[in-house]
Amino acid sequence: MLTKRIIPCLDVTLDEAGGTVVKGVEFLDLRRAGDPVELAKRYNEQGADELVFLDITASHEGRDTMIDVIQRTANEVFIPLTVGGGIGSVERIREILRAGADKVSINTAAVKNPELVREGADIFGSQCIVVAIDCKRNTDVENNPDKTIIELEDGSRVWYEVVIYGGRKRTGIDAVQWAKKVEELGAGEILLTSMDRDGTYDGFDLPITRKLSEELEIPIIASGGVGEPEHMQEGFVKGKADAGLAASIFHFGEYTVEDVKKHLRENNVPVRP
């Protein structure tokens, strides 16, 4: 088993302070978690392998990502930084990378213009392009024979539908088929978030995580639902993910990155120091 990455996620919204990290359940009922730069410094010191910075309302509000906060964060951390939210053009990708990000994450813009994935990969390299896929379970399998049907632990059958604008809009797009398409277009990684699990503390959505991990060659970052270190372990062992992303358990002091890595080492899951 290859070394697994632990990635804290900073979900940021614009406010009078210039940017605040928040966390909710299924992207709703947001509560404040702190200053993004200070939290980034904390996770850097705790041994996080990477950081993801998501401006979660930029696309919905039709504005650009917060460059100032990105620059200040990049100046304080010395691990790879992925930035997403409101990135809809090659020019914007260039601006984010120049501000100090190592990778960009595109979600809504990729769905609306898939060629942006190809253009970004061609210009900046696949290693810079992360496609974020937010998805929800859809139980209507009878009327969707063209979708990728996945059997859940309880024997029920669903397909996973891509949602955009921070989970506010369903697209009718099959998440597995979409993931394969963006891989072909040149994406270097997939950041997979199950909206059904986001902020619930119930663990990753293992069926869709495992499906993408088995079907794709590029790394899968599992996201949504981590409530304890055991959930990270399940994401790697049962879900076969390459990296695990979490927010709530780190932001609100329940566990540190070191706590999670210690648990993983004790259970024979290889992680970086």
CATH of 5-134+162-266, picked from 3.40.50.10260, 3.40.50.1970, 3.20.20.70, 3.40.50.300, is 3.20.20.70
> How far apart are alpha carbons 272 and 233 in whole angstroms?
14
- Which tokens belong to 30? 């947001």
Question: What is the predicted pLDDT for the residue at 24?
Answer: 43
Q: Which residues on neighbouring strands pair with residue 8, listed in sequence order?
A: 246
Cα Rg of the chain (Å, integer): 17
Beta-strand relationship, 5-13 and 51-55:
parallel
Active site includes 11?
Answer: yes
pLDDT digit string (tens) for 107-144? Answer: 999 999 999 999 999 999 999 999 999 999 999 999 99
Residue 144: per-residue pLDDT: 96
pLDDT classification of 48: cutoffs 50, 70, 90: very high
Structure tokens at 106: 């595109």
Do residues 10 and 77 lie in contact, with contact meaning Cβ atoms separated by under 8 Å?
no
Say which of 55, 134, 198, 205 is annotated catalytic. Answer: 134
Cβ–Cβ under 8 Å, residues 138 and 158: yes
Q: Is 236 helix (H, G, I), strand (E, B) or coil?
A: helix
What is d(CA 1, CA 272) in angstroms, rounded to the nearest whole number? 13
**Is 29's pLDDT higher than 70?**
no
The CA distance from 135 to 167, in Å, is: 8
3-state helix, strand, coil in the chain (%, to 5): 35, 30, 35
Q: What does the alpha-carbon distance between residue 66 and residue 182 come to, in Å, rounded to a whole number? A: 26
Q: Does 134 participate in catalysis according to the annotation?
A: yes
104 has a pLDDT exceeding 80: yes
Give the residues across from 54 on adjacent strands.
11, 84
CA angle 42, 48, 54 (to 5 degrees): 80
What's the whole-number mean pLDDT along residues 214-229?
Answer: 96
Confidence (pLDDT) at 81 = 96
Percent of the chain's residues with pLDDT above 70: 88
43-77 burial string, b = 16+ CB within 10 Å, else e?
A: bbebbbbbbbbbbbbbbbeeebbbeebbebbbeeb
Domain residue extents for the chain:
5-134+162-266
Residue 254 CB: number of other CB atoms within 10 A?
15
Q: In the beta sheet, which residues pair with residue 138? A: 159
